[in-house]
């Protein structure tokens, strides 16, 4: 059979190859993306597993402190309350009341109970009987629960919206001297986020809540990788205050964003602010310029809008910034999201190559069969002519 005679078969084979490629590529690409999506979702779920333990345990400790507070608040005799209040929080010359130094340095009560690592700043003038009861209940709860968790948390404290701060923090480098001695009489933290997040207006259900990354009150000129987590204390709907902790989350965040698979991972807040990214841990000090540069490079505003608009705590979405997928999972009380990106670079080409290869194989088979058909037709006709008919013999 000549080359010219094979042209129709070649055309048919090429058409089959092209049509098969066009039909198969979307299916292969869809299957690839589906597999990639499922694998990425499982991977991010595994990465996030157990990461909320930090916040769950903090909530348990604060719930224990709240229980102690409410018991003392309900059962203390007012005479006892007044005596403890005047003894442990003497009036200073500037009109404030602060804790005694021995409550930080260490002392034993008449019953043998050890008090240590404690400091307080009471910024109001004139305390009602109920307010004195609240301060004393917070003092007793903090000094009893705090030592039991001192190896796990830097601090346990009680605060209210009236600039009262009662804290157990025995290992802090400032020895709580800012609150015990240095804070000015007009020191006001009532507008700080850790106070506002527990108020009924912003937290009507009284849930455990955490701030964004925040500066420490006594180190406002330094950017710290710390957050404050707080549990409101209420009685019959009345806001009394809240127990809280300052959590150093540097190691927690570093572990979250250093991805062993080599994918890009970072932590983002609901409003799109970058919380943690590997680029931010390349130096000991994180500056505002560093944060702004990473924020701009990642284009997180668009990504955060898609994540928060998704309405789910965990999902895989089409990355709105780059070609690929982005998997996210919500991290505990701060409302952060761990995000892992996986680009699609080169993968669409692979699906075209796979579909093209299958199409070429199919086209070749069709070409082979079609090119052999003219040579086979005479033999087929000859066989059909020699087929015996029905015998007329009896």
- What span, in angstroms and rounded, lies between the C-alpha atoms of 213 and 194? 11
CATH 3.30.450 fits 1-52+249-372, yes or no: yes
Question: On the CB side of 36, how many CA atoms lie within 13 Å of its CA?
Answer: 20
| Location of structure tokens 């005679």 | 5
pLDDT at 99 over 80: yes
| Location of structure tokens 């909320």 | 52
Query: Could you give phi then psi for residue 242, rounded to 5 degrees?
Result: -160, 145
- What span, in angstroms and rounded, lies between the C-alpha atoms of 223 and 286? 7
Quick: pLDDT tens for 175-219.
999 999 999 999 998 888 888 989 999 899 999 998 877 554 444
Average pLDDT value for the chain? 81
Quick: pLDDT tens for 32-78.
666 777 888 888 888 777 777 888 899 999 999 999 999 999 999 99
Query: Could you give phi then psi for residue 188, rounded to 5 degrees?
Result: -130, 120
Point out the least confidently predicted range of 206-210, 231-235, 253-257: 253-257
pLDDT mean over 106-115: 91
Q: What percent of the chain has pLDDT over 90?
A: 33
Domain chopping of the chain, boundaries: 1-52+249-372, 54-248
Query: Could you give phi then psi for residue 19, rounded to 5 degrees?
Result: -65, -45
Sequence-distant (≥ 6) Cβ neighbours of residue 183 within 8 angstroms:
96, 121, 123
Residue-level pLDDT at 147: 94
* C-beta separation of 232 from 218 below 8 A: no
301: pLDDT confidence band, cut at 50, 70 and 90?
A: confident
* C-beta separation of 256 from 271 below 8 A: no
- What span, in angstroms and rounded, lies between the C-alpha atoms of 336 and 359? 47
More confident residue, 385 or 195: 195
More confident residue, 140 or 288: 140
Q: 98 is written with which tokens?
A: 């602060």
Phi-psi region of 233 (alpha: psi -120 to 50; beta: other; left: phi over 0): beta
- What span, in angstroms and rounded, lies between the C-alpha atoms of 11 and 50? 60
Sequence-distant (≥ 6) Cβ neighbours of residue 71 within 8 angstroms:
none
Residue-level pLDDT at 299: 79
User: pTM higher than 0.85 for the full model?
Assistant: no
- What span, in angstroms and rounded, lies between the C-alpha atoms of 7 and 148? 88
Burial of 370 (0-12, 13-18, 19+ CB in 10 A): middle
Alpha helices, DSSP H only, in 154-234?
177, 193-196
Q: What percent of the chain has pLDDT over 70?
A: 75
Q: Tell which residue, 242, 167, 164, 236, has the closest CA to residue 203.
A: 242
């Amino acid at each position: 059979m000549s080359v010219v005679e094979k042209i129709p078969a070649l055309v048919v084979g090429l058409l089959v190859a092209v049509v098969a490629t066009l039909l198969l590529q979307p299916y292969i690409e869809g299957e690839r993306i589906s597999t990639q999506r499922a694998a990425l979702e499982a991977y991010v779920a595994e990465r996030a597993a157990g990461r909320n333990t930090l916040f769950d345990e903090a909530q348990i400790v604060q719930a224990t402190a709240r229980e102690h507070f409410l018991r003392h608040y309900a059962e203390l005799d007012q005479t006892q309350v007044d005596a403890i209040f005047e003894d442990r929080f003497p009036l200073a010359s500037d009109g404030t009341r602060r804790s005694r130094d021995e409550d930080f340095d260490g002392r034993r009560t008449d019953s043998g109970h050890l008090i240590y690592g404690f400091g307080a700043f009471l910024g109001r003038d004139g305390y009602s009987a109920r307010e004195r009861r609240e301060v004393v209940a917070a003092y007793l709860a903090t000094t009893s629960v705090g030592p039991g968790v001192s190896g796990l948390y830097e601090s346990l404290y009680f605060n209210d919206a009236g600039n009262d701060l009662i804290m157990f923090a025995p290992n802090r480098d400032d020895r709580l001297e800012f609150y015990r001695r240095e804070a000015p009489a007009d020191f006001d933290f009532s507008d700080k986020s850790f106070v506002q997040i527990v108020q009924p207006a912003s937290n009507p259900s009284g849930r455990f809540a955490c701030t964004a990354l925040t500066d420490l009150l006594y180190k406002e000129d330094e950017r710290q990788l710390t957050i404050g987590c707080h549990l409101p204390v209420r009685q019959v709907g009345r806001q009394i205050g809240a127990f809280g902790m300052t959590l150093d989350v540097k190691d927690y965040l570093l572990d979250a964003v250093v991805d062993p698979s080599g994918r890009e991972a970072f932590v983002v807040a609901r409003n799109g602010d970058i919380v943690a990214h590997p680029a931010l841990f390349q130096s000991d000090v994180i500056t505002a310029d560093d944060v702004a540069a990473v924020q701009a490079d990642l284009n997180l505003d668009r990504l955060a809008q898609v994540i928060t608009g998704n309405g789910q705590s965990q999902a895989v979405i089409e990355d709105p910034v780059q070609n690929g997928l982005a998997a996210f999972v919500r991290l505990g009380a701060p409302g952060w999201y761990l995000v892992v990106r996986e680009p699609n670079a080169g993968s669409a080409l692979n699906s075209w190559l796979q579909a093209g290869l299958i199409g070429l194989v199919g086209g070749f088979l069709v070409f082979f069969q079609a090119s052999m058909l003219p040579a086979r037709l005479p033999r087929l006709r000859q066989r059909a002519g020699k087929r015996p008919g029905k015998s007329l013999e009896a």
